Chains A and B, each alone.
Chain A
Amino acid sequence: MSRTARLRLFLTAAAVLAAGLIAAAGELPGFGGPQHPYGERAVAAGLAQRTANIVSSVNFDQRAFDTLGEESILFASVLGAGMLLRLARDERKRRPAAEPVLPTTRLFGATLLPITLLTGGYLVAHGQLSPGGGFQGGVVLATALHLAYVAADYLVLKRIRPLAVLDVADALAAGAFAALGLIGLASGAGYLANTLPLGTFNQLSSSGLVAVVNATVGVEVGSGVVVLLAHFLDQAVEVVPRRRSR
């Protein structure tokens, strides 16, 4: 396709998209106004299920089925990336050499790694109570682990990263979300319906199924991101083309 044709195609598509977006935005309630039709319904439904964090209530109770789809997409992407980045026949692994690290960087990493791990764990555990949740906490947990790569080197990261366990945990947690939906089905309320005991509002044990599903998402996202980054790190640090015999 020539440059002008490409530009023309882009401008047409952009104009159609802009027209659609402007037409849709006209129907929305005013920015920052007192009317929140969706918010009011979601908050009422969330409070009725004793879930303090309404976003978690929407994600794991009111629209849990949507989240199941999103988690499956994440799982499938990690799986797909892992398959694409497998060791090919003409590649081999070499032992990466240790790189020198500035003492300040080392101190920074050693201080922040436990704090970040704790923050991630807190975000997952309090997903039903405060802003955050399984996805955010999982990502923070996964990034925390990689501070070892920044502050020390790849070999240290490999030692503290139980890759085989995380590989299995990723798959199990992704499956657990789908399996937990069966609780609602078994009690006759419908797939992924929140039928577990709801507990006391604003307590760690409150919100029934939300807390459990939130925890499985935390495990899935945390281990999934570590596995994904492990494949990319392998490719960048360890994998080299096999030397041809000459």
Chain B
Amino acid sequence: MTDTLIVIALLLTAVTATTAALTRDPVRQAAVLVLLGLCLAVLFTVLQAPDVALSQLGVGSAITPLLILLTVRRVRREEHPDDRPDRSA
């Protein structure tokens, strides 16, 4: 039973990690990284390492994708300086 869970978690991780590596657009990659973080957290939990799963959930699924998205937003704004994001409401 546990072995089946481990195999499923490993397969999910391999699939999402490959998808993340093959995704070229950083915004999409951030979304895939969230999924990868979740899959890794599941994998670590079934391997009885809940400490690592918690770190993975926080860093891999929340902070890293957020940093990527913020960086993309900043870089894209520099590429198109004309469309100002602060629409004076």
Contacts and interface: CB of A to CB of B under 8 A. Distances in A.
Contact of A235 (B54, B63, B74, B87): B74
Interface string A82-120: 000000000000111110000000000000000000000
A18 B28 CA distance: 30
B71 A55 contact: no
A55 B67 contact: no
A115 B55 CA distance: 18
B19 to A, nearest CB: 20
Interface string B60-89: 001100110011011001100100001111
A1 interface: no
Nearest to A123: B54
A236 B71 CA distance: 7
Contacts of B26: none
Contacts of A233: 70
**Max chain B Cβ within 10 angstroms of own Cβ: one of A53, A95, A132, A136:** A136
Contacts of A229: 63, 66-67, 70
Interface residues of B, number: 22
B25 interface: no
Interface in A31-55: 32, 53, 55
Interface residues of A, number: 29
**Max chain A Cβ within 10 angstroms of own Cβ: one of B51, B81, B89:** B51
B86 A132 contact: no
A131 interface: yes
Interface in A170-227: 225
Contacts of A55: 51
Interface stretch (A7-15, A21-29, A138-146, A155-163): A138-146
Given A96-B86, A98-B89, A143-B62, A235 B51 contact: no
Nearest to A130: B50
A75 interface: no
Contacts of B87: 97
A236 B58 contact: no
A136 B86 CA distance: 35
A140 B54 contact: yes
Given A55-B51, A97-B86, A98-B89, A225 B70 contact: no
Interface of A: 32, 53, 55, 94-98, 123, 131-133, 135-136, 139-140, 142-143, 146, 225, 228-229, 232-233, 235-236, 239-241
19 contacts: A32-B3, A55-B51, A94-B86, A97-B86, A97-B88, A97-B89, A131-B51, A132-B50, A132-B51, A132-B54, A136-B55, A139-B55, A140-B54, A143-B58, A225-B63, A233-B70, A236-B71, A236-B74, A239-B74
